[in-house]
Amino acid sequence: MMSELDEALREQLLHAWRQNAGRQVPSFDQSWQAAAKRHAAGRRNYRRFAAVAAITAAIVITMNVQLPAEDPFIEVADLLETTYWVAPSDVLLPHREFDIYQDMPVIFESTKPAGGTLL
Amino acid sequence: MRDNDALDNNPHVSRSALEAIHSQVFGWALSRCDFDHATAEDLMQQAYVELLSGNARFNNESSLKTFVFSVVQNLARSRFRRISSRLRLIRQYRPDRVTEPVEPVADDGVWHAVRALPARQRDIIELVFCRELTIEQASAVMGVSIGTGRVHYERAKKALRSRLQHYAEEK
């Protein structure tokens, strides 16, 4: 319940509102029809988007099905290529890029016992 | 119970109920967009679209008026958040392109006094005095607690009275 003072203030405000801003209210029917049009347009756009998305998905799936399956075997040469590695410090070596597996220096030639122990 | 003209996606909202509060909704939309009629109409239509599509679903937890006002408020907030960020950019790079909003013709002190209030106080005084909502409903529309709403309401009335008194003395 408003006090008399509040009621007077309210009356003043309402009067001011009508004077300044509340004069031209658009008709409800007009606004409603415009809103309904926008709503229908929004639904149409949504349907179009959904249709385009469905077609795109169908195309992608069909293309994937038709593509030949990838070869499951791996070439040894390709595999070796992927594991090939050169140490950055190799440039400092006198003979660059030697194969440590083939050029292994022979340190112990013999396994024959000499004097009770292995040479 | 479902009205004959209830909306498909919003069974608790009927066209006739919306028609009954149409002018109030427009008034609220108008004050949300600095009294620009075209923008207010657009905002109101967008609120109706939200109701038609069911994006804003009314479930009878409050009055329809409170609900629709909240929808308008939220739409205005999100719209003007976008606009204000764009405006900030324009102000930064092309200050000559920015035009200040046009104020409505203030032909009396009351209107001027209301416009001079801080935003929250102006909103609650408009909702309670001009849109005939209770403080509780107005607080719900504004998204604040009832306590905060009451504080804004009392401060707004106090500020308005003092401004009006000052205006009357000047006259």
B130 touches chain A (CB under 8 A): yes
Overall domain count for chain A: 1
pLDDT for A10-62, tens place per residue? 888 888 777 766 667 889 999 999 999 999 998 899 899 999 999 999 999 98
Specify if A63 maps to a domain: yes
Number of helices followed by number of strands (H, E) in chain B: 8, 2
pLDDT of residue B71: 94
Measure CB to CB from residue B53 to each of A17, A25, A42 and give the nearest one: A42
Q: Name every chain A residue with its beta carbon within 8 A of the beta carbon of B161.
A: 5, 9
Q: Is the Cα dihedral A67, A72, A75, A80 positive or negative?
A: positive
Minimum distance, in Å, between the CA of residue B72 and any CA atom of chain A: 14
Specify if A50 maps to a domain: yes
B118 touches chain A (CB under 8 A): no
Helix (H) or strand (E) holding A47: helix A28-66
Q: How many CB pairs under 8 A join A and B?
A: 82
Specify if A62 maps to a domain: yes
Residue with tokens 């003395």: B169
Asked if pLDDT for residue B30 goes beyond 90, the answer is: no
Count of CA atoms in the C-beta half-sphere (13 A) of A12: 20
**Contact A9/B157, CB-based, under 8 Å?**
yes
Is the interface score ipTM higher than 0.85? Answer: no
Specify if A64 maps to a domain: yes
- Give strand pairing partners of B6: B14
Instruction: Please give the residue range of the domain that contains residue A73.
Output: 27-91
Specify if A37 maps to a domain: yes
Instruction: Give the contacts of A7 (CB within 8 A, at least 6 positions apart).
Output: none
Residues A98, A119, A102: CA angle, nearest 5 degrees: 15
Measure CB to CB from residue A20 to each of B26, B46, B104 and give the nearest one: B104
Specify if A12 maps to a domain: no
Specify if A34 maps to a domain: yes
Whole-angstrom distance, CA of residue A103 vs CA of residue A6 = 103
pLDDT for A57-109, tens place per residue? 999 998 887 777 677 777 777 777 777 788 888 777 766 555 666 656 666 66
Specify if A41 maps to a domain: yes
**pLDDT above 90 as % of chain B:** 42
